Chains A and B, each alone.
Chain A
């Protein structure tokens, strides 16, 4: 059972074959066995997990099978960026060490209302700034497919935990690829919904105009289940959209038909610098889609090469302001014996933030400073508009776009830490989607030298149904999503 999908576990719970407590215990045992090696979880309160599971079993007993809520008894791991009343919320930063939020993020409230059992906090790049989970203040997280390698980032802990079946599903956030890239590198499914689909309230902000929460799961259907539970207008997040088109999330997965589907293949995404085996896997996947009745259409997204540069102006600019509140005045790390106000600010922040976070705050403050604003921030916003237009034009011709999720498979720990620019290029295929506010999904489509390769689907805004339908059709015809890292697939001693 550890590698079961959410929906499989749900079926077993609904049939009374198992209980939420048994399920929780199974994953707690696996976390106990493997987390030391992977460092996927940075906080776990086993008693609290079991308490939620007991409450869920009691709820099920009181309300019957039909009264069970959408995620009744299902374990979901939570990236350390989501504020939770239970346990610390630290964003894997020393500046928030031991910070306890007095409130739940909106999506956490929704998960609780859906009956989910929240399993600990997962590792991440500090303040979600990174592509490898190496900038975490709580130590690097490892990829279960090869523990010398990174799991991607910034939602690397969630990805690693799902890939190694320490949890059947997890929540991540995606600012420039932080769900899709680690999903790709760990062989799982991850979706970034349309910007404005999911409330950001209670999610520690990195870049407010780009951040979006989403599911990290073993299957496309699980991604739909989890998104259905967390999405929806939040009157307290003005960037969620009140009249967003409503979807039937599970039905979208069932309508998996590639017949006649026009899949756009942007030439700018298949260029030099990408791993040859990654390319081969993705091209093979596209051929398979063609065999399933889809039509491949060559398209162009001409401003793709500007996306990374625009992103690394806009995201740090917003971050530089978002991270100003960590000033040690009301909460968070404060230095010892400050001499005066300036000393308190500078030393507390110097001690609290890691080097990547500092680099981005400085980059952002510089891009916004008087005399440079027009050349950097304003220019980047203009590029953003051009990228949005690229997609709008492309979607006049095609239903969905397919690309590789990452140009490479999981790289070695430490391989890129000294070279931020190379690290930034890991997100080259995912960033444009955030800049355009579109939904994107990554699913496994191959293995290259034993490491997972991801296929990215991009749909028009509010058309997650297209993503889910297309990805479900591909998933149904292949078994890449069933591949698991052998080292973590030992014969379980438990009931499963």
Chain B
């Protein structure tokens, strides 16, 4: 009998605000320890939180993007536990009434197709600081720069049935968040961290006991950790044991997880309403305004690129991965409107390929979309061949030179004058009487020989289509 895997995900995503959730400190990454702190985020006596309105707006925007309900009145609560990097001894979070509830994200996986994954809630909370134990002899150091950084916690329904679905959900969510510009979502900087709740059951039975895999910050580790945990749980049960409810930590070096704490050891967080912050009230008008300013979402762009520009699903996929990509593509089409498909092919294959080789992202591309469009124009008007265009693009990427300047300077302009081409053909025929006779005698394979000779004589600049056409006519004539 088979096993069914049940996965629910909690994502902690840093909201990209200039200042922290409840004080005016900077959120810039990478500063010297404890330089971005103040009495509020240090938990000094008598200090009070003031909610960052930008963080609220960005959380609402995220909620709208996943088709969720926005609670016009939500509440803040205190989550109590002692840890040295938690200055107040409690975290301000939204426990009872979150800002966002009841959304969804649609995913597609190869193995299981299209599926809708429910998002239970998105609530706002503050991050804790960072404790550092390693390399310090018997002492710990604490950096509170991160203390009070605003987070969204995005909690899914236990709707995923495989690690592939979990990753598809996460990638989709990650992409939406980046599109909205509500978070840098840089996983290496800890701006997008994931906890996975995993259990297994026989199909149709109630949920099994779940374990929580904590704090993973790469898609690869998340998949590995889930797969490992599924195997581990099935083994435990098939060996006659029972899964115990616990938190587990993924060790990406040993490729295994270990128990952090069991349910019995878990904190009682003693949640209660945060008396320093009145309920968070937002008006429907504010929500509507945020909605009106919402950028096009990846799936909407994808559909539009297919319909409006006739792109393949694959190209549309590639070009909607980030807002930078889709924006660049649209600028390119605007500058070269005649052939959106050519734009897509050349951008996806030639431009992005070269950028990848150069280890650069689109933001640091040496040429603009308009400059790239000029290159495509020169192909469209037969000034250069596609083959020459690739060489021109190499030069453009290397030096930033414009397509026209480079073609002019290097004399790469294609010969499309029929008189000139006819003259070249005549000269080749005159120089090769034997081959001409043989061709005319039926050895049509020699056609390629004549094409080669003409292209060689033109130093590759003769328009190949015209050479073909004129050759066919002139070789026949007698």
Contacts and interface: CB of A to CB of B under 8 A. Distances in A.
Contact of A370 (B42, B87, B90, B268): B268
Interface string B265-290: 00010111001111000000000000
B48 A237 contact: yes
A370 B269 CA distance: 8
Contact of B51 (A203, A238, A323): A238
Interface stretch (A14-22, A31-39, A99-107, A387-395): A99-107
B43 A330 contact: yes
Contact of B80 (A205, A207, A321): A321
A16 B268 CA distance: 63
A238 B272 contact: no
A466 interface: no
Contacts of B47: 201-202
A369 interface: yes
Given A208-B275, A341-B84, A368-B270, A200 B89 contact: no
Interface size class of B (residues with CB under 8 A): 20 to 34
Interface in B66-110: 78, 80, 82, 84, 87-90
Given A83-B45, A238-B50, A238-B278, A321 B78 contact: yes
Interface residues of A, number: 42
Nearest to B267: A370
A370 B270 contact: yes
A203 B46 contact: yes
A205 B277 CA distance: 14
Contacts, number: 97
Given A238-B276, A365-B270, A201 B82 contact: no
B33 interface: no
B90 to A, nearest CB: 5
A204 interface: yes
Contacts of A91: 45
Interface string A223-241: 0000000000001111100
A96 B45 contact: yes
Q: Which of B46, B89, B271, B275 has the most CB of A within 10 A?
A: B46
Contacts of A267: none
A324 B39 contact: no
B142 interface: yes
B46 A201 contact: yes
A414 B464 CA distance: 109
B49 A318 contact: no
A96 B275 CA distance: 23
Interface string B284-324: 00000000000000000000000000000000000000000
Nearest to B142: A329
A451 B84 CA distance: 49
B160 to A, nearest CB: 28
B260 interface: no
Interface string A444-470: 000000000000000000000000000
A202 B268 CA distance: 29
Interface in A318-338: 318, 320-321, 323-325, 327, 329-331
Given A103-B39, A325-B87, A345-B82, A239 B276 contact: yes
Contact of B45 (A204, A320, A341, A365): A204
Given A330-B42, A368-B270, 9 more contacts: A200-B46, A202-B46, A202-B47, A238-B49, A239-B276, A324-B80, A324-B82, A330-B43, A373-B272
Which 6 pairs of residues, A with B, have the shortest CB-CB distance?
A: A324-B89, A208-B275, A368-B270, A209-B275, A202-B46, A325-B43
9 contacts: A83-B45, A101-B46, A200-B46, A236-B48, A321-B272, A324-B80, A329-B142, A368-B270, A368-B271
